[in-house]
Structure formats: C-alpha cells, structure tokens
Amino acid sequence: MVGTVGVFLATCIRAENTRGEFENQAFSTYTEARMVITKQGESYFRIQNGEIVLLIDPTNQRSVRGADIILNTKTQTEPGEGLIIDHPGEYEIKGIRVQGTAANEEGETIYRIRWDDITIGILGGVSKEPEAKSQLGLQGVDVLILPAGGKNIPASIAAKIVRQAEPSLVIPWGDTKAFTKEMGSSPETTENKLTFKKKDLNPKAMKVSLLSEN
C-alpha cells in the first residue's frame, strides 16, 4: 500500500515552483463563471458553478451525494460519488484545475483551484498556520476561504495570511468577530449564500463576507 501511495504522489506532485506553471498554461476555453457558495458546517462549504458541485470538508458520507469534486483539508472521506482529493498534488476534472499543497507538519492540505475565470484559495479546517512556502500558492487568488480564530488558526494569523494573499473576496469562518476586528472591517450582515461573477470582484477593494450555516 505504501508503495502504491508513493507512486501516486510521485505522479501527482511536481517540483516546488509549480504556481507559475499552474497559472500560465494557456487555456482558451475559460468561460465566465457564476459561483454560488454556501456554508454547510464549520469548514464545510459547497461551491456550485452551473451543474458542477465542489465540496470542501464534507462531514459525512450522506453529504457528498451528487458532488463532482470533494476537497479535504485535514480528514479523509470514505469512497463515494465524485473525485475525492485529500493529498498534495495537481488534478483536473471537468475543467477545474486543483493544486493541493502540504500545509504543515500536521499532514493538512491547502488548495488553489482555477474554475473557469476565477481562482479560489482554500484553507478549510487547517489547525495551524501553513508554512510560508505553502502560502505562496495563495497569492493573487480571487477568493480566499479560511478559518479564523476559535480552535483553528488565530484571528491575527488569519488576517496576516489574507493580507499576504490579497484576494478580492474573503470568506472566513470561526471567530469572525475577532477576525473582522483584526482586518479593520465590519460586514453589516451575515448572508445565506454568495453569488458572484468575476466582474463583481474588485482586487483594489477587498471585501469580507460572512456566511450563515445552512
């Protein structure tokens, strides 16, 4: 089994400086995405674009039904529907490019995905600050989903990660009050879902959005 995993990882993981290759490969088929993001549980998020559904850290086997891609940042999901990714590496399914990077010594994984014309950074439920080298893949993403405060990354560290990544849209979970204080922002409302296109994101005016659990 160890040998099989080793071959799998050797096949999937490229050299350290993969971010440039990941972003710079020419793709002429990108279309305008219309993302719908909802929060289903702590680090459990659902992202839909058209008919394709991606789940982040789903909590049980029942919840993964109908998903096309499942990304786990700190746990493994039993085999079910869709492609399950819980290791570092580069993957592509249904036009979605996924780059997973080892986050820390805890064996956790963070992700950068390219879905049509939108890039999303995902820290999910990581419990400790990702190593500096791992955070390089988060720079310049359009959207960043991350834990902030509580039992996971402290709010101050989460704010530092956000400032370094410079996303247009930040979706925190955890102690969001402490996080927004660190960021010097105060969203007026908590929303049930976020729906947006690339043109709705302003890289010069970072926005923090809070989602309620569905």
Sequence-distant (6+) residues with CB within 8 A of 150 are 174, 175
Tell me: pLDDT of 144 over 90: yes
pLDDT score for 122: 97
Tell me: pLDDT of 205 over 50: yes
Residue with tokens 């979605």: 96
Entry pTM: 0.83
Q: Mean pLDDT in the chain?
A: 84
Distances (CA, A) of 46 to 19, 79, 178, 185, 191: 25, 18, 24, 25, 14
Sequence-distant (6+) residues with CB within 8 A of 74 are 57, 106, 107, 108, 109, 124, 125, 126, 127
CATH top-level class for 2-211? alpha beta
Mean per-residue pLDDT, 46-60 = 92
Q: Is 203 exposed, middle or buried (0-12, 13-18, 19+ CB in 10 A)?
A: exposed
Give the side-chain half-sphere CA count within 13 A for 44. 14
- H/E run at residue 183: helix 176-183
Mean per-residue pLDDT, 152-176 = 95
**Distance spanning both ends of the chain, measured CA to CA:** 38
Lowest mean pLDDT segment, chosen from 6-20, 54-68, 81-95, 182-196: 6-20
pLDDT score for 151: 84
Angle (CA) 108 41 59, round 5°: 60
Closest CA to 47 of 30, 29, 70, 31: 70
Tell me: pLDDT of 28 over 50: no
Tell me: pLDDT of 2 over 70: no
Closest CA to 75 of 114, 119, 41: 41
pLDDT score for 12: 42
pLDDT score for 26: 40
Instruction: Tell me the per-residue pLDDT of 93-126, one tens digit each, with 9 for 90 and over.
Output: 999 999 999 998 888 999 999 999 999 999 999 9
Q: How many CB atoms lie within 10 A of CB 10?
A: 9
Tell me: pLDDT of 138 over 60: yes
Structure tokens at 58: 């789903």
Identity at 104, one-letter amino acid code: N
Q: What is the DSSP string of 92-127?
A: EETTEEEEEEE-STT--EEEEEEETTEEEEE-TT-S
